[in-house]
Structure 1
Amino acid sequence: MANGVWHTRYGIEINLSLPDLGHPDRPDLLQEITVKVSERDAQLLECLAHHEKRECLSESGGKSPWMFIRRGRVGGRRPLVASHLPLTHKATPAESAQHKATKERIVETAGRYGLHAEAEVPVANRRSVSDAVVTGPGGLRIGWEIQYHHLGPSSVHRRSVNAVEHGITPLWVAKDRTASLIDRAPWTRVDDMPWKDIADGKEMVIRGGYRHLEVWRCVPSSERHCLISGGAGHCGAMHADWFAPALCLPARKPVHIEELVLRSATGESVPVYVPSRGNGRAGRHMWVSADDRALWQELVGEKNPLPTVPAEDEDDVITFAEQEIDRTCRAGEEGWFAGDGRPLRDLDQPTGGFTLPRMPVQRSRGPMRITDVERAAASAALGCPPWEIGPCTGCGQLMRRHGRNAAMYCTVCRAVLNERQP
């Protein structure tokens, strides 16, 4: 990571590892060089190697010699580092054809379902344009954003917030599992298909970004692992988590893009955001059924499906190591920008889920009070109506206590009772 940069306007060398950047006479210098590139001259900061006419790997590596300042991460430190700006991506003919075919397919699908749809719709303030906006019968507007080449996470966040502010729910479409838009906003991923197949109506499956909620009781007979013990045991509590269709038990049918066009516009499929456990800044955006989201919100008490997530690390304290400037060009060592390998972001792993507290063992003969949340979770886990839920006579845990094929004792208590019989 580069710790030095050349300021083309002032004609000075900046050392990012020093608290005063090497220029105590310029107290506003840090603020000047860390503003958004869109708000300053893109050629304000230059790679030192390029300025000194030494070897600079930027242009051959898919980057420009011009730079911007970001916060790095080295262990527990947050140093300022200079990174090369990616070259402006120009869509290849194949990407342009894929983009156009997907946009037209979404608009045509909406028309077949009797929905209103428009292509290339400017948002009210004209700061961005949605590839397609589909309006449902209830006035719900879905802004489809087909993004088949790399787009920085800040741009995804900005455009998504802009859409939401103007009454449009963003729905981003990617074809790459490393796309930066994944989990930055409501998204889906489709296969990388030739434009002709897209235009001809070949099956277009949603490969990522759509999930189903599953609730289960953590007992030895469960096919799911315990979320608390990491699979080492069974806690007896109710767990809930989100799974891709193929990983559901039993497996669910995949969702096709035509189905999502309809369901998103009618409100049958909705976006939800699930924060990661232990890290409120990170989490998963996904599309789910409205019933699944309603149950999830009832279980966890979460009512905001599209939170405004703060930019990562925006309030972390900058650390200054006070080192000599490294004058070597580091264009190939800067992480996720154009020309570098980016990590997979579309993973089929569960989200970490949610666990309801285990009900206390019944101590008295009086009626046990069951909350609506506990009843809803047990109903989903056991696959029976909520009114059939009741406590086990032995341990007090919720079970199918009423209705056809009901019992007085849960399977665990019945096994214990059978062992005690001579």
Structure 2
Amino acid sequence: MANGVWHTGYGIEINLSLPDLGHPNRPDLLREITASVSERDPQLLECLAHHDKRECLSESDGKSPWMFIRRGRVGGRRPLVASHLPITHKATPEESAQHKATKERVVATAGRYGLDAEAEVPVANRRSVSDAVVTGPAGLRVGWEIQYHHLSPSSVHRRSVSAMENGITPLWVAKDRTASLIDRAPWARVDDMPWRDIAGGKEMVIRGGYRHLEVWKCVPSSERHCLVSEGAGHCGAIHADWFVPALCLPERKPVLIEDLVLRSATGESVPVYVPSRGSGRAGRHMWVSAADRARWEEIVDEKTPLPTTPVEEDDDVITFAEQEIDRSCRAGEDSWSVSDARPLRDLAEPTGGFTLPSLPPQRPSTSTRITPVERAAASAALGCPPWELGLCAGCTQMMRRYGPNAAMYCNVCRATLNGR
């Protein structure tokens, strides 16, 4: 793989294996050379062999001596790699047909629901084009981006921010669990289906990217494990987390692409971003019901907007090997620089969730104030309206104290009293 390139604008040689690229006096150089080719001069970066008037294998093969920079993946490292244009993975005829069929299905579905929809919509002064934009009855615009081959995280972020700045909520569609767009922006994953099945209306299930909020009290009778204690222990706290439909208790019905077309345009389903709580991932993007998002924001007592600046993950960190530049042309050898399989990004496991500590035991004579956050979480966990909540007369933990089937004591206190 090529670890060096010639910058035609500055007339300098760039060593991609050095942290400062060999030019400590140019702090913006990395950002400049990794910008999308659509946003810079395509002839900005040149193959070193071509610049030195030596044989450029790409040009000899009738292709381009001009280059772009990407991140490779070799043995767990993420080096910067110079590759010859054209930039793209060229879509196979099957991928192109899948892309076209999915786009047409989104537009046709919107039309059946009476929604306005348009294909190939220019965004941001025509610098990018959304595959389809669906507009809801209240004017909410959702930009569908069908992406069935690899796209860099920076491109996903740039196009998503551009859409949001123009009043469009991005919705990326992938078919591969390793797609780098997953959790970089609001997304949904479908099966890798033949284009004829897509065009023919075969059921198209959203396999990833759509979740439901579940809230539970962590007690021995709970069907779910504790989020904070090791093993099979129970902490007595209230937990909240997001689950794919198949892992909900009870299991939820799967969401179809037609459902998401309608719900996203009407605002019944909305995107939410949940920052990571300690893992190497920056956070999770997901589509959820508007009711679930409102309940989550009430429980965690915060609203987290969709990121408008890139959030780097551990796997995004560039590795600099600090080597000498190899000035020979490496055209045709680019593929081995990404020979390591891309990691799975669409994981069905919970997100890590949120834990609201239980109230400490208090003597009945001591006044205990229940905060709005605690009341919202307890209401969701106990399955009762907030006005039916109260404190156990024995331990002062929150419980269903008022309304039908209410009691003065919680189950634990009742068991203790009955055992005397």
Query: Normalising TM by the smaller chain, what interval?
Result: 0.7 to 0.9
- Give the equivalent residue in structure 2 for 1:142: 142
Structure 1 segments (4+ residues) deviating >6 Å: 10-13, 47-57, 71-75, 316-321, 326-330
Q: Tell me the CA shift for residue 211 of structure 1.
A: 0.1
Q: In 2 relative to 1, CA 65–398 (structure 1 residues): closer, same or farther, beyond 3 Å?
A: same
Structure 1, unaligned runs of 5 or more:
none
User: Is contact 1:215-1:240 (8 Å) kept?
Assistant: yes
> Scaled by the length of structure 2, what TM-score is found?
0.84
TM-score of the two chains, using structure 1 as the length reference = 0.83
Question: C-alpha distance in 1, partners of 2:317/2:98?
Answer: 43
CA distance in 2, matches of 1:91, 1:263: 30
Partner of 2:258, secondary structure, is helix
Gaps of 5+ in 2: none
CA distance in 2, matches of 1:142, 1:372: 33
Task: Give the residue type in structure 2 aligned to 1:109.
Answer: T
> Residues 104 and 320 (structure 1 numbering): CA distance in 2 closer, same or farther, change over 3 Å?
closer
The alpha carbon displacement at 1:82 in A equals 3.5
Aligned residues of 1:332 and 1:340 also touching (Cα < 8 A):
no
Instruction: Quote how far apart the aligned CAs of 1:179 are.
Output: 1.0
Counterpart amino acid of residue 46 in structure 1: C
Distance verdict in 2 for CA 1:101–1:294, change over 3 Å: same
* Contact 2:74-2:337 within 8 A present in 1 as well: no
Could you say which residue in structure 2 is the equivalent of 1:259?
259
**In structure 2, do the counterparts of structure 1 residues 22 and 260 end up closer, same or farther at CA, with 3 Å as the change threshold?**
closer
Q: What are the within-5 Å matches in structure 2 for residues 1-400 of structure 1?
A: 4-7=3-6, 9=8, 15-16=15-16, 27-28=25-26, 31=29, 34-36=33-35, 38=37, 39-41=40-42, 44-46=45-47, 66=67, 68=69, 81-84=80-83, 87-278=87-278, 282-312=282-312, 324=324, 331=334, 334-335=337-338, 341-365=341-365, 367-400=367-400
Partners of 2:89 and 2:78 in 1: how far apart? 28
Say if 1:34 and 1:70, in contact at 8 Å, map to a contact too: no
Q: 1:73 to 1:237 in 2, by over 3 A?
A: farther
Contact in 1 for aligned 2:272/2:305 (Cα 8 Å):
yes
Cα shift at 1:224: 1.2
- Distance in 2, matches of 1:20 and 1:308, equals 26
Match of residue 412 from structure 1 = 412
Contact 1:50 1:56 in 2 (8 A): no
The 1-side partners of 2:242 and 2:84 are apart by 37
Q: Structure 1 counterpart of 2:293, which letter?
A: R
| 1:237–1:357 contact (8 Å) kept in structure 2 | yes
Residue deviations 1:400-419 (CA, integer Å, cap 9, x gap):
11122222222222222333
Residue 327 of structure 1 deviates from its aligned partner by 7.9
Match of 1:44, as an amino acid? L
Deviations 1:290-330 (A, max 9, x none): 0000011111123233122435279x999977655578978
**Equivalenced residues, count:** 408
Cα shift readout 1:143-184 (whole Å, capped 9, x = no counterpart): 111111111111111110000001000111111111111101
Counterparts of 2:290 and 2:209, CA distance in 1: 15
Bigger mean CA deviation after superposition, 209-218 or 37-46: 37-46
